[in-house]
Amino acid sequence: MARIITIEFPVFSDFIFHVEISKDFDKTIKKYPSIAHLSGDNDNCDAVTLHSGGLVVFIFFHPNPSVGNIAHESWHALRHMFNTVGVELDSETVAYHLGFTVNSIFKFVRGKRRG
């Protein structure tokens, strides 16, 4: 059974972060038509963030990711979202949303919020 959550950002054009725990990234990535072409050689990573230019970012983690990996991939996803919707990367906007995203994913991977 897949472990998935979505994190929604209604004030940023309803942008969505799709977060999924997977032991086989490439097999999982192929399930999603918008990013299926990005599969291949992703399983050598502890985590990966992918997007196809739309309003969804996919973040994949192997089971039990570190907080460092969660923060790292959260930054990639946030940067893409901010660039896509035209939000300036000022420190407070970044800090608030990075904290929110890392906390949401951390709770999810620790089983406190199930998708």
**pLDDT one-digit tens code per residue, 10-38:** 999 999 999 999 999 989 999 999 999 98
Q: Does 28 map to a domain?
A: yes
DSSP label at residue 32: -
Domain-embedded: residue 27: yes
pLDDT of residue 114: 46
Whether 91 is covered by a domain: the verdict is yes
The pLDDT, as a whole number, for residue 38 is 87
Give Cα separations from 59 to 16, 18, 90, 91 (angstroms): 11, 6, 23, 23
Residue 1: per-residue pLDDT:
61
Amino acid letter, 20: E
User: Looking at the predicted structure, is the pLDDT value of residue 62 above 50?
Assistant: yes
**pLDDT (0 to 100) of residue 113:** 56
Residue 32 belongs to some domain of the structure: yes
Is 81 within the bounds of a domain? yes
Question: How many structural domains is the chain composed of?
Answer: 1
Residue 33 lies in a domain: yes
- Which range of residues forms the domain containing residue 60? 3-109
Question: What value does the mean pLDDT take over residues 32-46?
Answer: 85
Confirm whether 115 is domain-assigned: no
